[in-house]
Amino acid sequence: MKISCFVKTAWLVDTDNEARTSPYEENPNMPQIIRTATPDDIAQLVDLLMLDAEERHAEDGILWKMAEDAPAQIEKALTFALTAEQQPFRQIWQVADEGGRIDGVIHSMILPVPPIYAGSSGEPGLILPDSFAAPDAPDGTVNALLVAAEKALQEAGTRIVLSSYVSGEDWRKSFEDAGFKPLTLYLSRTVLGDQRTPSIVRQATEEDVPGIVMRSAENRRVLFDIDAFWEIHPEADPRFSAWMTRSLTLRDRDMMVMGASKELEGYIIAQPASRLHFPPAHDITGTGVIDDYYHPELADLARLRDGGEGATALLRAAEAAFANRGMGAAFVVCPAGWQSKIEMLVESGYETAMIWSIKR
């Protein structure tokens, strides 16, 4: 893990624009408190979140590529989150404040339930990867931030809390000690230019949508067998069919299938990355995400059938699609309990880059 140095803010500016000594400098022994972030914290948070982003960048410089204007992107995201009246989802930013110095931050949100899942436990809370404590923060800062975030999410009505982890041993240990168990792995590969689209894989058409929906239903049953978190919505099939039909019109993704439309063997969708998984300091234009992906060779959770040749061909086709779009990294979403799929991905050159864990 990259070791960074956090520079203490020694001066603040009051309303009369006169420099004055910070509370931290006047009394460096002031106790640390955990509180909700305010717009006044943005300047310090930008510095702190840049250190956080640099740690991820050190883990993988291609997957976690830094945006050229990373500080500005962080400031823009924070300003919107802390000031905008209309938000697409509820965000919660909390900070560790030690006498005016912000030495820790935790970012959480209320996660909308995808329409193909029932969500009978309500919308879960999610602790996002742009949560960070300065290297010289007091012992226990990470634990204190985690406790505060869980409490805030529970007060917001969540019954399930998810956490995301990329780097930082303190965070991994705190999540484990708090009872979080791995739910989803995000595996990545950053060598995509060495693949061609296998001849047995083709671009999907509208005629393939019923077959894609059929295979997706099999995929959803496997997910539910792994964990009831993926409880299937009664209207999952028509909802997924409508989304697949619309997806065929979107120019930013590739939908690929294997086999004849009436006997579709498998499908994969190679789509652009979103901000849900990547904090604003990172440039996501070079990263693609694979989430909707299934082949019957993966149906057995423990053992890959027929060597996974068909499933691997679909994966290689998605990688080729990303490479053709100038992308340098692929991010595959895979449940932590799907051992046969993990085995196939690892054999194909993928490594775990992020873990989402769950606490009920």
**Cβ pair 95, 35 in contact under 8 A:** yes
Element (H, E) at 4: none
Secondary structure class of 354 (helix, strand, coil):
strand
Q: What is the pTM of this model?
A: 0.88
**Cβ pair 337, 283 in contact under 8 A:** no
Secondary structure class of 138 (helix, strand, coil):
coil
What's the pLDDT score for residue 28? Answer: 54
**Strand residue runs (E) in the chain:** 11-13, 19-21, 32-36, 91-98, 101-110, 125-127, 132-133, 161-165, 181-189, 201-203, 254-258, 266-272, 287-294, 329-335, 351-359
What's the pLDDT score for residue 31? Answer: 78
Token reading at 164: 């995301």
What's the pLDDT score for residue 7? Answer: 31
Token reading at 153: 């999410």
- Each residue's pLDDT, cut to its tens digit, for the chain (360 residues) gives 333 333 333 223 232 333 333 334 444 566 799 999 999 999 999 999 999 999 999 999 999 999 999 999 999 999 999 999 999 999 999 999 999 999 999 999 999 999 999 999 999 999 999 999 999 999 999 999 999 999 999 999 999 999 999 988 889 999 999 999 999 999 999 988 777 899 999 999 999 999 999 999 999 999 999 999 999 999 999 999 999 999 999 999 999 999 999 999 999 999 999 999 999 999 999 999 999 999 999 999 999 999 999 999 999 999 999 999 999 999 999 999 999 999 999 999 999 999 999 999
What's the pLDDT score for residue 18? Answer: 34
What's the pLDDT score for residue 25? Answer: 42
d(CA 5, CA 319): 37
d(CA 130, CA 321): 29
What's the pLDDT score for residue 150? Answer: 98
Mean pLDDT rounded to a whole number for the chain: 91
What's the pLDDT score for residue 169? Answer: 85
Q: How many CB atoms lie within 10 A of CB 34?
A: 19
C-alpha distances in Å from residue 113, one per residue of 8, 192, 224, 238, 289: 40, 31, 15, 17, 19
Q: How far is CA 190 from the centre of its chain?
A: 17
